[in-house]
Structure 1
Amino acid sequence: MKTLRLLLLLFVCPLIVSAQTAGSGQKSRAHICIDTGWRFAYGHPFDAAKDFNNGTGYFSYFAKAGYGDGAAAADFDDRPWRKLDLPHDWAAELGFSEKGSYSHGFKALGRNFPESSVGWYRKKFTIPQQDYGRHITIAFDGVFRNSTVWVNGHYLGTELSGYNGFEYDITQLLNYGGDNTIAVRVDATMEEGWFYEGAGIYRHVWLNKTSPLHIAANGTFVSSTVGNGKAQLTIKTDISNYDIGADNFAIVQKVYDRQGHLLATKQTDGHALQPFKTGEYSSQLDIAHPKLWSVDTPYLHRLVTTILVNDVPVDEYVTRFGIRTLRFDANTGFYLNGKRLEIKGTNNHQEHAGVGTAIPDELQYFRIASLKQMGSNAYRCSHNPPTPQLLDACDSLGMLVIDENRLMGIDEYHLGNLKKMIDRDRNHPSVISWSVGNEEWGIENSETGARIATTMQSFVKSLDTTRAVTAAFSGGWGQGLSGVMDLIGFNYIAQENPDAQHQKFPQQKGWGTEEGSTFATRGIYFTNDSLHYKSAYDAKPRPNAYSIEEGWNYYAKRPFLAGMFIWTGFDYRGEPTPYGWPSIGSYFGMLDQCGFAKDDAWYLQAWWGNKPVLHLLPHWNWKGKEGQPINVWAYSNCDEVELFLNGKTQGKKAMAKNGHLEWTIPYSPGTLKAIGYTGGKQVLTETVQTTGTPQAISLEAHKNTLKADAQDVAVIKVSLLDKKGLAVPDAGNEISFKIEGPGRIIGVGNGNPTSLEPDKYLETIVNMPIEALKELPVPDTIRKSETAENFDDSSWKKAFTNISDTSVKAWVYRGSINLTDDLTQSPLSFFYKSIGRKQSIYFNGHLLAANVDYHKDQDVFNISKAFLKAGKNSIVIVALPIKKIHPWDNPNQDPGVIQFKAPAAAWKRKLFNGLAQVIIQSDGSHAGLITLTATSAGLKEKKIVINADK
C-alpha cells in the first residue's frame, strides 16, 4: 500500500484558497472549499416548534422572495448550535436501537426517531466588495437527504436525492463587502436505499466564482482515439454567458503531461454567445506517442481551457483526464488499451467505520489502495453515484469503475439525474461503464422494464458513446431488461444460467455485477449463531449463491464473461444478513468496516494478484481444544504447499488453479509452518504461532505526515503484542485514546458487526428555552420583590400579550427552566437576545447583568454553578420596552436559550479479534506534532507521533 501511495496525485479539498485561477482581478475563477466553520442542530420533521418555527411566518419562503424564517432567516441566532466542520454524518454519531431500521444498521434514525432525523446547518461567510460583477454559485457534492437551501433568507431549492451533486446561483442575493448566511435543512427520515446511507452534509461544499462568461460546471468532455502512434483528442466545451449582453470570445486549449510539459495547444476564434445561453464548442488535438492510462500505470493528463475576450483571459478551467481505449467483446470479454483484462471487481457502499458516509478524501485513497493490495482492479459504486473524490482516487491509483445510477425511470427527474452523473464523471478514465440500474425487481422481468431500459440506454449513448451501458439483473434471464442491454450484469448466477443467456443473445456482452456473497466474521473460525459470528472459512452462504472461490472459478472459465464484482469489498453498516439485532453490520466483505482483511482477501490476492502469496488460516490460539481437530487452510498461488506442526510434516499438497488447500490437524500449541514451492523450488514461508497474553500496545499509522489543512487523515491500526512481539489475534482488551497537538480523533472502529460501542465521542450540549414566560407592567425598572427566586407570579399574564400598549413604562418578565442533577454540575451559558431597549437579568434572584443596552444577539451571560439547583429555576428580565418605528415592526419576543455543555468522554474502543482502528485528522490550526496516546488496564501506555506539516 505504501508503494501505491507514491503514485498519488492528491486533490484534497482546499479550505480557503482558490483551486483554479486565471488572469487577474474579479474575472478569475475560484473554486473554494467552505467545509469549515458550520453550525449544526437537530430540527423536527413535523413539529414546527422543534424545527425552529421554519415556514410558520405570515409570508413563507415559498410565498415571497427573501422570506426564509426560523432557522432559515439570515439573522437567526445560531450561537448555541454545535460547531463542526464538513463532511458530517450525524447518523454515525447516533446510538443504536432495536426499533431502528434493519437495512440501515439499527441506527436511531428514521420514522421512529423524529427527534434525530432532521438536521439544520448554518454558516456565515464574507464576500469581498470587489467580487461584485462575478458569477457566484454554491455547490454541494451531496447531502443526505431531502435538502432545502437558503442564502440570506432566499430559498434556493430542494434536492430530494442524497446522491446528486447540485449547485445554486447566488450572484444577485449576496451582501458584497459584508457577511452572508447559508442555511440548509436536511430531512433523513425516509430511506433512499436499503443500506446504511448516513445523514447530513456528508460531502464537500464549494463556493464558485467566475466571470459572467465562463466554462459551465462540468463543462468539458475529453474523449480519445488511439492508433498509429498518436492519440486524437476530441474536446467538447460548454460555455455559459450570464452577462447582460452578447460576448465575443476565443477558446484556447492546452494539454499537459503529468510533469507539466505542454503536449499540444489550439486556439479557436470568432465565437459569440447571447446572454443567458450555453453553447457547445468542439475541437480536436493530436498527441504524439501518448502515455496511456491503465490499472498498472494510471497516467493522467491535464487539459487547461481558457476563454479570451479581447485577448484577455476571463476564465480558466482545468480538467484531469486519461488517454486509454475500452472495448467489450461478446465472446472474449473486456479489453483495455487493446489487451484483454479480466475484471476482478468488488461492490462497495460509501461508508467506513468511525466516520460513516462522511469519508475524508485521504480515506478514499486508503480504501482504494486496500482493494488494490487485495488484487482487485475494478470497483462498482453500489448503488448510487459516488463522491467525486472517490473517482479521483480510482483515477490516481488505477481502479476501473462502474458508475451507477440510483433509480430507473424515463421522465425528466430520472433522466436528468442520470445526465448529472454522466456530465460530472465523464472525464474520469477509471469509469468504464455507466450502470442505469440495479435489481429493479418490480420491472426487470417485464416489457415495461425492457422499454425503460431501452430508453435509458439510448439516452446514455446520446451523451457518451465511449463507454458501455450496463444494468444489474437478478433473475429471469432472456426476458425483460436482460434482453435489451448491450452489456448485461449478472447478479448471483446460481439462480440462472449465463451460458443459456449467451446462447440466446450471442451479440450481448456480459459480466458478473454481483457474485460470491460469502458470510464471514474476521478472525472467527467456528460459527456461533448465538453470538452472531460466522466462520471465516469460505463457504456457500445459501443454496442459490456461490462462495468466493466458486464464483471466481465459474467466471474464470468463461472468456465471454468479462469478469466479476464480489459482493462486497468492504463490510458496511446495515443489512446484517443472515442475522438481525444486535448485529448492525454486514458479513459480506473481503475486508471489514475498518479495512482489516478477512482471510478471503488472501484467496483473491493469490489468484487476482501478480505476486507469490502464501497465507494460513486459522490463528493458532485454541486453548481448551487440545487434541481436537482444527481445519487448516492455505491460500496460495504456489504449485505446492507443505505444512508442518511443531516441525513435523503434515504433508505436501499440489495447488489447483483458483483453488485452496486443506488439512485437518489435532490442535497442539506451538507453530504452524507452511512452505510454498514453485517449479520445485521453495519460494515462500508462512508461520502462525500460539501467542502469549498481551504485554504491549502497538500503534501503526498508514502514513506519518499529514497536511495541516483540517482535512488530511492518518489511519491508525491498534493491536496488542505478547512478550515475543507477536500480535495476539484473539485479544479483546478495551483501549482508551488521548490526542494532543494540532489534530483530532474523528472516529474509532474495530470491524465487529455486533459491536454497539460508539463510533464517536462528542461533547454534550443541551439547549433549554425559557418556559412559561409571563409579564407584568411596572412603573420603573427599580424592582426588588419581582426578581426574587420564589416570587408568586400566578396572576401574571402570558408574555407579550400587550406588546402594543405604549403606556407601559417597563416590563418584568418571569420564566423558568427545569434542571436535572446532571445539569447542575457545570456553569450554564445564557445566549441572550434583547427583549428591551435596556434590561437587567436575574437567575434564581442573583443578578447576572444590569442595565444592558439593546443588542440583537451579542450577549452571553455566565450562570455560576453556585446559582443552580435541581428542579425549577427562575429567570427574570426587567426591561424598558422596545419602541416600534413602523407599525409593522415585530420586536423580538425570544430571550434566547440557556445552554449546558459538558466535555466529551474519553475516546475508547475494544479490540475485536486483536484489532481496532483510530482515525485522526489535522485540525488545521497550525503545523506541529500530533501525539496519540493509547492506554489499557495492566499495559504500558503507547504513543505515536504524526507530523502535521503546512
Structure 2
Amino acid sequence: MQRIGLDKNWDFYESDESMSFVFATPPSQKVDLPHDFIVGKPRSADAPGGPANGYFGNGEGVYKKTLDIPKEWEGKKVILDIDGAYMNLEVLLNTTLLAMHPNGYIPFQVDLTPALRFDGKKNKLKLITQSRQPSTRWYSGGGLYRDVCLWVGGPICVEPWNVFVTTPEIGEKEAVVNVDTVITGTDIEETVDYRCEILDAGGKVVGKVEKTMQVCGKQKENVQVTVENPSLWDLEHPYLYTYRITVSKDGEVTDQAEDTFGIRKIEVDAVNGFRLNGKKMNLKGGCIHHDNGFLGACAYPKAEERKIQVLKKAGYNTVRISHYPPSMAMLKVCDRVGMLLMDEAFDVWRLGKMPLDYHLYFEEWWARDIEYMVRRDRNHPCVITYSIGNEITERDGGNDGAEWSRKLAAKVREFDSTRFVTSAICGVFPEPEVEDDEEDSAGTNFDLNLMQDNSVWNKATENYCKPLDIVGYNYLRDVYEESHELFPERVMIGTETHSFTTYDYWKKVEELPYVIGDCIWAAVDYMGEVGVGKVYWENAHEDFNFMAPYPWRTSWQSDIDLTGEQRPQSVYREIMWGNTKKSGIYTTHPKHFGENFRGTDWHWYDVNDCWCFADEWLGRPVKVDVYGAGDEAEFILNGKSLGRKPIEKLMASMDIPYEPGILEGIVYKDGAEISRSTLVTPEEAAVLELIPEEKSFVADGKDLAYVRATLKDADGNRLTQDEREIQVETDGVGTFLAVGSGNPCTEDQITDTKCHLYRGTAIVILKSKEAGETKITVKADGVAAGSCVVEAK
C-alpha cells in the first residue's frame, strides 16, 4: 500500500468534547505533527499528576483535518495509521465514531474505507485525545505526539504489518529469507500474480520469487528467497536489505509493499550467553523513556536518532524502551545505526499503579495491543526481545499472575516466535504483619521497595517466569547465583540496575555466563519521577524521599542530561565497558568536604567537572576523583605532582587544597600513561559560543537543528558553575522550538525563548519548512552575545 503522511496542518484546540453540544468550540490553532500540547503548559506544585508526571498539567486535545480524498480512490482501501497518541484516542470520520484506543503508546490502525465520502462532500477527520492524570509514573505528554499517516491500496492489497520476514538459514555463501505475506482480496476469488523481490542496499535485486495464486478474503502466502553472499546486520555494519512485494492482476499492478529488514541470527542460552551472528556479546544496556526533553513527547526522527547516537558513542549497544513500545522513528534509527532494542508492552496488567492507568482497560485490550506491537515491530533487526510487562504487580503469582504470564507470552509467539520473550521483575514485598482488626498499611511505595523480601523471590516468581525465554531482574543482583542453582537453564538479564553500584552489577555480567547483560536505570534523563537521583547531604537536613518537591522536573538518575551531554556516571560506565583511553576528573564542592550524603542508589556522586570556587575556599580541601581503567592515578596541580593514588573500582580520590589554575589527573597502567583529564579555572565570562551540531538540516518541517550555547572566558574555557539567564532570538526561515538546560530542578518554562544555563551550557532547537538560513543570537547579561547561522535545505 502507498503511505501518505498526514503530519501537516491540523486544526487543534483543547476542549471537553463530550460537552461540545452545550459549550462553544474554542478557537483552533494550526499545528504540525508530532505535537505535544502538554509540554508548554505551566507546571505547578498542585498538578494532578504530581511528581510522577513532573508537575505538568493535563487536558483533552482535539485534532481536526479535512482529508483530500480523490475520486479515483473509490473502491480502494484506506487505512489510518496512528503510531502513538496519549491517550484514550477516539477516531471520528464525518461524525461517525470508527474506533477508540485507550493505550497511549501502542500503535493503532483504523480502516476508514466504510465511512469515506465520494459524493463531493468533504471528509472530515477528528481525533480526540485525553491526557488525564494521574495516569502515568513518568511524563506522558499529550496528543498526537508520533506520526500519523494514511495507507492506500487497491481492492487486492497487502495491508501494513501483514508481511513478516525472517532469516532461518544463514551461511557465508547464501542466506534463506522467509517471507510470510497476507494478501487482502475481495469476497470473490480472483487470480493474481505475486512477486517477492529482495533488494540490496544499493537497490539491486539480489533474489526473486514469482508465482500465480488465488485470492479470496485474506490469503496467506509463504515464499523463500535465496540471497547469495549475504551481508549480515550487526552493530558495526548494520546492513539493511529491502523486500518488495508486488501483486498484479491481468498484467496490472494492484498493490506494492516494501520495507527494510536485516539478515541476522540471535541466540541465547545459560551456557554461552547472548550471541549475534554466532558472536557472544554482553548487552551494555540502558533504559530510556519516550520523551525528548524540551520537545516533550514529540517523536521527531532527528530527536530519536540523536538520542541513540549519543548513547552509542557512550558505549551502549542495547536500549530497553520503558515501559511501552517505541516510536517507528526509534525502530528505524536503531536498525540504521546498529543498536539492539528490547521492546516492551505494558507497565501494568489487571492491578494498576496509578488510578487512571492502563489497568482499567487491560482485560479488554491486552490481546489486541500485544498483536499491534509485535506485528508492527517484528521486521526490525534491532528488536531482540519482547517484554510482556515491567514490575507487574501480579509477578508473585497473585491474581492469576502465572496464568496471565503464560497467556501473554503465548500471544507474542503467535505473531513472532523468532524473538525472546521476557519480563522485567522486581522484588516481592513481605506479607504485612498486622492483627485482624488493624489497618493493613505498609506506608509509601518507597517504603515498600525498601522492604523487598528477596529471600522468597525465586519461589514466589517461579511460575510467573516459566513462560519466559529470558528473565529480567530489576535490582536483584544478589539473587542471580541462587536463581541459577534452582533453575540452571534460566537466562537472566539485569533489566534495571542502580547507577551507584553499577560496577558490582557489571562484574556479575562478566563473571556469570547466564547473566547476558545489564540495563542501567536510566540512560537518558527524563521528565517525571522527579528527583529520584537527588543526593541528600547530611547538613541540609532534608527529608529523604523517593521523589522531590516542585520545582524538580526530571528524574536525575541518568547518564545523559536533557541537553545530550554525558554526566560523570556515563564517563565512568564507558570506562567500565572497555574504553581504556577514556578518563574523567571531577570535584565535590568544598562546602561538602567531610560531609556524609545518601541517595536512593539511583543517584551518583554529587560531583562536577569544575575547578572554580569562590575566594573563601582558597586553601580549603576539595575531594577530587579521577576515573580510569588503570591501576593508579597521579594528581597534578599547576604543574606540581601531588602524588599518586591507587585506582579501585575504576576510581581514585585525593583531597587537594583549592588553588586556582590547572588540575590534571593522569591514569597509569603498569607504569605507562593510558589516559589523562584536565580541569582549568576559567577567567571572567566573556562570550556565549554557539556551535550547531550539524552544518545543515532538511527543510521539511520535521528535521531539527540543535545548537549548543556555552558560556566561555576569553581563552575558551567553559564556566561550569555559571547559571545566568540567556535569551534566544532567531531571524530567518527557521521556527524556534525550545531552549533549555540540563538542570533537573528549575522553574524555566519549556517552549519559552529564555532559560538559565546549567553547568554553563544550554541547547537551542529549531525546525524549518522553508529552505534558507536562520541566524540564532543568544544574549546574557555581562557577556558578548553569541550568534551562528544554520541552513535548511
* Match of residue 437 from structure 1: 389
What is the distance in 2 between the residues matched to 1:203 and 1:104? 22
State TM-score, norm by structure 1.
Answer: 0.72
Q: What amino acid does structure 1 have at the position aligned with 2:57?
A: L
Name 1:268's counterpart in structure 2: 211
Q: Which residue of 1 aligns with 2:558?
A: 589
Residue 310 of structure 1, CA deviation? 1.8
Q: C-alpha offsets along residues 864-905 of structure 1, whole Å, 9 cap, x if unaligned?
A: xxxxxxxxxxxxxxxxxxxxxxxxxxxxxxxxxxxxxxxxxx
Contact residue 43 and residue 52 of structure 1 kept, 8 A: no
Q: Distance in 2 between matches of 1:573 and 1:86?
A: 21
Q: Where does residue 245 of structure 1 map in the other structure?
A: 188
Structure 2 unmatched ranges of 5 or more: 351-361, 428-456, 533-545, 588-609
Distance 1:440 1:292, change over 3 A: same
8 Å CA contact 2:286, 2:521 repeated in 1:
yes
Q: What displacement does 1:463 show?
A: 2.1
Q: How many residues align?
A: 709
Shifted more, 672-681 versus 400-409: the winner is: 672-681
The match for 1:427 is 379
Q: 1:703 aligns with which of 687, 690, 694?
A: 694
Aligned residue for 2:30, secondary structure, equals: strand
Partner-residue secondary structure (3-state), 1:637: coil
What is the 5 A alignment of 1:815-826? none
Q: Report the 3-state secondary structure (helix = DSSP H, G, I; strand = E; otherwise coil) of the residue aligned with 1:498.
A: helix
Alpha-carbon distance in 2 for matches of 1:665, 1:554: 34
1:596 is paired with a residue whose SS is coil
Task: Give yes or no for the alignment of 1:912 onto 2:728.
Answer: no
Residues 1:31 and 2:3 are matched in the alignment: yes
Secondary structure, in 3 states, of the residue corresponding to 2:572? Answer: helix
Amino acid at match of 2:70: P
Letter in 1 for 2:475: Y
Report the alpha carbon displacement of residue 723 of structure 1 after superposing the two structures with TM. 1.4
Q: Deviations over 1:920-944 (max 9, x none)?
A: 111x1x2111211111122222211
1:488 aligns with 2:471: yes
Instruction: Name the CA distance, whole Å, in 2 between partners of 1:345 and 1:757.
Output: 31
Deviation at 1:659, TM superposition (A): 2.2
- Aligned partner of residue 582 in structure 1, secondary structure: coil
SS at match of 2:138: coil
CA shift in 2, pair 1:570/1:268, >3 Å: same
How has the CA–CA distance of structure 1 residues 482 and 140 changed in structure 2, closer, same or farther, with 3 Å as cutoff?
A: same
The equivalent of 1:397 in structure 2 is 337
Q: Which residue of 1 aligns with 2:726?
A: 735
- 1:36-435 paired onto structure 2 within 5 Å: 36-44=8-16, 48=19, 51=20, 53=22, 80-100=27-47, 101-110=49-58, 117-176=59-118, 179-224=122-167, 225-227=169-171, 229-241=173-185, 243=186, 245-269=188-212, 271-274=213-216, 277-406=217-346, 407-408=348-349, 413-435=365-387
Contact 1:91/1:107 (<8 A) preserved: no
Deviation, structure 1 residue 596: 1.9
Can you list the C-alpha shifts for 1:320-376, whole angstroms capped at 9, x where unaligned?
A: 111111111113321111011010000011012211101311110000001111100
After superposition, the C-alpha distances for 1:266-299 in whole angstroms (9 at most, x for unaligned) are 1121x1222xx22221110112221111112111
3-state DSSP class of the match of 1:308? strand
**Residue 727 to residue 376, structure 1, CA distance change in 2 (3 Å):** same
Structure 2 letter corresponding to 1:197: S
Match for residue 552 of structure 1?
506
State the distance in 2 between where 1:53 and 1:329 align.
62
CA distance in 2 between partners of 1:483 and 1:498 (Å): 16
Judge conservation of contact 2:195–2:211 (CA < 8 Å) in 1. yes
How far 1:510 moved relative to its partner? 0.6
Deviation of residue 217 (structure 1)? 1.5
Contact map agreement 1:747 1:760 (CA 8 A) in 2: yes
Q: Which amino acid is 2:659 matched to?
A: S
Higher Rg: 1
The whole-number CA distance in structure 2 between the counterparts of 1:408 and 1:221 is 28
- Shifted more, 468-477 versus 631-640: the winner is 631-640
Q: Check the 8 A contact 1:102/1:580 in 2, yes or no.
A: no
The 1:715–1:104 alpha-carbon spacing in structure 2 relative to 1, beyond 3 Å, is farther
Amino acid at match of 2:171: G
Query: How far is 1:45 from its partner?
Result: 7.3
| Contact kept in structure 2, 1:128 and 1:178, CA below 8 Å | no
Query: Is the 8 Å Cα contact of residues 308 and 334 (structure 2) preserved in structure 1?
Result: yes
Could you say what secondary structure the match of 1:130 adopts? helix
**1:602 alignment counterpart:** 571
Structure 1 residues 39-97: Cα deviation after superposition (integer angstroms, max 9, x where no partner):
11111277x2xx4649xxxxxxxxxxxxxxx86xxxxxx8x311111111111011111
Task: Name the CA distance, whole Å, in 1 between partners of 2:712 and 2:741.
Answer: 17
Q: Aligned partners of 2:710, 2:115: CA distance in 1, in Å?
A: 53
Using the alignment, how far apart are the partners of 2:650 and 2:525 within structure 1?
Answer: 24
- 2:736 is paired with a residue whose SS is strand
Match of 2:458 among 471, 477, 497: 477
Q: Which residue of 2 aligns with 1:628?
A: 620
2:528 is aligned, of 568, 574, 580, to 574
Structure 1 stretch 446-455 or stretch 304-313: which is displaced more?
446-455
Counterpart position of 2:542: none
Correspondence list, 1:449-468, <5 A? 449-468=401-420
Deviation at 1:102, TM superposition (A): 2.7
Mapped partners of 1:355, 1:493: distance in 2: 34
Q: Which of 508, 511, 514 is residue 493 of structure 2 equivalent to? A: 511
- The 3-state SS of whatever aligns with 1:380 is strand
Q: Distance in 1 between matches of 2:666 and 2:339?
A: 32
Higher helix residue share: 2
Residue in structure 2 matched with residue 836 of structure 1 by the alignment: none
Alignment partner, residue 666 of structure 1:
657
In 1, the alpha carbon distance for the partners of 2:86 and 2:71 equals 33
Secondary structure of 1:460's match? helix
Shift in Å, 1:752: 1.3
Q: 1:102 to 1:599 in 2, by over 3 A?
A: same
Contact residue 490 and residue 514 of structure 2 kept, 8 A: no
Residue by residue over 1:156-205, the C-alpha shift from the partner in whole angstroms, topping out at 9 and shown as x without a partner, is 11111111222222224334466422111112114443111111111111
In the alignment, the residues of structure 2 paired with residue 460 and residue 326 of structure 1 have an alpha-carbon distance, to the nearest angstrom, of: 17
What is the CA–CA distance in structure 2 between the aligned matches of 1:223 and 1:92, rounded to whole Å? Answer: 40
Q: Is the 8 A contact 1:99 1:106 kept in 2?
A: no
2:741 is aligned to 750
Q: Which residue of 1 is the match for residue 480 of structure 2?
A: 498
Q: From the superposition, tell whether residues 324 and 679 of structure 1 become closer, same or farther in structure 2 (CA, over 3 Å).
A: farther
Question: Any idea what SS the aligned residue of 2:776 has?
Answer: strand
Aligned position for 2:539: none
Name the SS of the counterpart of 2:655 in structure 1. Answer: strand
1:714 matched to 2:705? The reply is yes
Q: Which amino acid aligns with 2:108?
A: F
> What amino acid maps onto 2:510 in structure 1?
A
Structure 1 portions without partners, runs of 5+: 1-28, 55-69, 72-77, 111-116, 519-538, 540-546, 762-906
The reply to whether residue 941 of structure 1 matches residue 785 of structure 2 is yes
- Checking the alignment, whether the CA contact within 8 Å between 1:743 and 1:920 is kept in structure 2 is yes
Please state how far the C-alpha of 1:683 moved relative to its aligned partner: 4.1
**SS of equivalent to 1:328:** strand
CA distance in 1, matches of 2:335, 2:46: 41
Equivalent position SS for 1:90: coil
SS of the residue 2:372 aligns to: helix
| Deviation string, structure 1 residues 214-238 (Cα, Å, up to 9, x no partner) | 1121111111121353211111111
In 2, Cα distance between equivalents of 1:182 and 1:515:
44
TM-score (norm 2): 0.86
Q: In the superposition, relative to structure 1, how do residues 650 and 333 fare at CA in structure 2: closer, same or farther (>3 Å)? A: farther
- On the 8 A contact 1:349/1:381 being kept in 2, the answer is yes
What's the counterpart of residue 881 of structure 1? none
Identity across matched positions, percent: 28
- Please give the alpha-carbon distance, in whole angstroms, between the structure 2 residues aligned to 1:85 and 1:700: 27
CA distance in 2, matches of 1:560, 1:696: 53
Question: Aligned AA for 1:284?
Answer: Q
Matched position secondary structure for 2:45: coil
Verify the 8 A CA contact 2:503 2:576 in the aligned structure 1.
no
Give secondary structure in 2 for the equivalent of 1:554: helix
Q: CA deviation at 1:609?
A: 4.8
